């Protein structure tokens, strides 16, 4: 399907969704891109939540869960996406341009929110690939820094270029007028699995060996002081969950806050 037939069709906008306009598109690699859309005046969400989005290219559009990468106060909504050649949605989504229309369902949800964690000193955000998106929202929200003294954002990817979105975000954050001063307490720990890099390997392996704690000059994770959030592939979720439980942390939820939370909405 061409770009024109994807985005400029005669299909009616379904009931119960917002039809929003693309304001920016930026491609990072042949597999990753971000885009921003206008924000409905009535749309409210908590930083870290996700929403279902689609395209107006069929009578019954395909929707997929996407973390909102922008913070709850932002005037626009940002998403960070992978490109899947034969993906029912991303095959077409990766071709969007400024001015195109995105469909967004009206109800956000998710477990990667500050309210789902008990108070603590240090917050670990564990991400792989586009799993950094909900954390892109949270590290731009003042509430995150008000609740924790120190934030460690870990991001594991295969290749160097896949780290650019997170690096760009963190670099800009340090001079942000709203959270710039607080973001001095944010630490960004990147690792690669397929290319040479100062820090190499899966984050769970680096936790098991203790290298991540040595690299950051931090004590081992403890349920008394540390909290965790996890977003990534199914294998990464399972391994990181097991690692945190090994340190004595317990999984929580919106209705039962605890010491770590996992987002499973993006796993098939």
DSSP for 86-122?
T-TTHHHHTT--TT-EEEEES--B-S-SGGGB---SE
pTM: 0.93
Alpha-carbon distance 164 to 156, whole Å? 12
Interval 77-116: pLDDT, tens: 999 999 998 889 999 999 999 999 999 999 999 999 999 9
Interval 141-162: pLDDT, tens: 999 999 999 999 999 999 999 9
pLDDT reported for residue 10: 66
């Amino acid at each position: 399907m061409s770009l024109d037939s994807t985005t400029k069709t005669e299909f009616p906008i379904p009931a119960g969704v917002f039809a929003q306009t693309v304001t920016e598109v930026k491609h990072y690699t042949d597999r990753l891109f971000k885009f921003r859309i206008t924000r409905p005046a009535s749309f409210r969400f908590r930083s870290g939540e996700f929403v279902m989005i689609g395209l107006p290219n069929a009578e019954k559009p395909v929707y997929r869960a996407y973390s909102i990468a922008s913070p709850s106060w932002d005037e626009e909504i940002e998403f960070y996406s992978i490109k899947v050649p034969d993906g029912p949605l991303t095959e077409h989504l990766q071709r969007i341009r400024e001015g195109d229309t995105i469909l967004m369902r009206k109800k956000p949800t998710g477990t990667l929110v500050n309210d789902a964690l008990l108070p603590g000193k240090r917050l670990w955000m564990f991400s792989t690939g586009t799993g950094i998106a909900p954390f892109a929202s949270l590290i731009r929200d003042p509430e995150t820094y008000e609740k924790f003294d120190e934030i460690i954002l870990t991001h594991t990817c295969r290749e160097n270029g896949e780290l650019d979105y997170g690096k760009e975000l963190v670099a800009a954050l340090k001079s942000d007028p709203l959270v710039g001063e607080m973001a001095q307490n944010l630490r960004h720990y990147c690792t690669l699995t397929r290319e040479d890099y100062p820090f190499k390997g899966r984050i769970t392996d680096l936790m098991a060996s203790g290298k991540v704690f040595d690299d950051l000059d931090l004590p081992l994770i403890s349920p008394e002081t540390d909290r965790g959030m996890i977003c990534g592939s199914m294998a990464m979720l399972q391994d990181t969950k097991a690692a945190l439980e090994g340190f004595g942390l317990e999984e929580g939820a919106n209705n039962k806050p605890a010491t770590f939370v996992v987002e499973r909405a993006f796993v098939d």
